[in-house]
């Protein structure tokens, strides 16, 4: 998605340790016009799929998922990190390791909102090692629902998450795949 790559080139900041900061438009401050273009592009790529629900994970997936959901005309469910007293005990749960926060989260979805009749599009902002996605896939499979596909905004193609997911036979569409970053020059290399 050329518009997205241009935006990453212009406003993304490469930091040491293969960190790409896109917090000015994607995951802290959110450019809703860009999100609409992202939503349209997900719809274009998954137009043939009988999707009836979008699943994402808090926090930074939620905005993109909600804007995209307008193009699919379906509800969004977000998986929650850690137990809350406002969540029924009746949940699907999985564990996700976060490298960003250096800890393991329990992630849950209420059984009321995911079941064997659901045909799910999973949406998230980033794909690096694939831990979050593996957890979301696990939740969908626990519910007996079908994964129609996965839509990712930015994939770090030099980490192994994308290969891992694709090797499972799940359709994965990443709108921008980064093959390399240089924190000294700020250069970002996208996959064609």
Which are the contacts of 81, defined by CB distance < 8 A and separation ≥ 6? 57, 58, 96, 105, 106, 107
Is the Cβ–Cβ distance between 103 and 75 less than 8 Å?
A: no
Rule CB under 8 A: choose which of 52, 70, 93, 129 binds its own copies.
70
Distance of CA 8 to the CA centre of its chain: 17
Q: How far apart are CA 173 and CA 166, in angstroms?
A: 10
- Residue 62 as a binder of its own copies (CB under 8 A): the answer is yes
Q: Which lies closer to its own copies via its Cβ, residue 75 or residue 166?
A: 75
Q: Under rule CB under 8 A, which residues in 22-51 are in contact with its own copies?
A: 23-25, 28-33, 35-36
Helix, strand, or coil (residue 102): coil
Pair type for strands 13-15 and 19-21: antiparallel
Which are the contacts of 190, defined by CB distance < 8 A and separation ≥ 6? 5, 8, 176, 177, 178, 179
- Residue 10 as a binder of its own copies (CB under 8 A): the answer is no
Please measure the distance between the N-terminal and C-terminal CA atoms of the chain and give it in whole angstroms.
10
Nearest distance, CB of residue 168 and its own copies, angstroms: 26
Nearest distance, CB of residue 130 and its own copies, angstroms: 18
Q: How far apart are CA 68 and CA 65, in angstroms?
A: 5
- Residue 80 as a binder of its own copies (CB under 8 A): the answer is yes
Show the site string, 115-154: x = touches its own copies by CB under 8 A, - = not: ----------------------------------------
Q: Under rule CB under 8 A, which residues in 82-121 are in contact with its own copies?
A: 82, 84-87, 100-102, 109-110, 112-113
Nearest distance, CB of residue 96 and its own copies, angstroms: 15
Q: Which of 66, 5, 80, 78 is nearest to 32 (CA)?
A: 66
Nearest distance, CB of residue 111 and its own copies, angstroms: 11
| Residues within the interface to its own copies (CB under 8 A) | 19, 21, 23-25, 28-33, 35-36, 58-59, 62-63, 65-67, 69-70, 73-78, 80, 82, 84-87, 100-102, 109-110, 112-113
């Amino acid at each position: 998605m050329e518009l997205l790559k241009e935006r990453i080139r212009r406003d993304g900041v490469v930091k040491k340790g293969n960190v790409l900061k896109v917090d000015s438009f994607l995951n802290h401050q959110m450019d809703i016009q860009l999100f609409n273009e992202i939503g349209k592009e997900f719809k274009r790529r998954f137009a043939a799929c009988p999707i009836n629900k979008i699943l994402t994970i808090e926090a930074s997936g939620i905005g993109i998922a909600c804007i995209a959901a307008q193009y699919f005309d379906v509800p969004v469910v977000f998986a929650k990190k850690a137990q809350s007293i406002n969540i029924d005990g009746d949940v699907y749960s999985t564990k996700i390791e976060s490298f960003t926060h250096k800890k393991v989260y329990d992630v849950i979805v209420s059984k009321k909102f995911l079941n064997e009749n659901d045909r799910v599009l999973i949406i998230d902002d980033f794909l690096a090692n694939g831990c979050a996605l593996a957890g979301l896939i696990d939740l969908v499979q626990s519910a007996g629902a079908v994964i129609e596909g996965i839509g990712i905004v930015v994939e770090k193609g030099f980490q192994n998450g994308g290969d891992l997911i694709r090797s499972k036979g799940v359709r994965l569409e990443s709108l921008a795949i980064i093959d390399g970053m240089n924190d000294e020059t700020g250069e970002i290399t996208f996959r064609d």
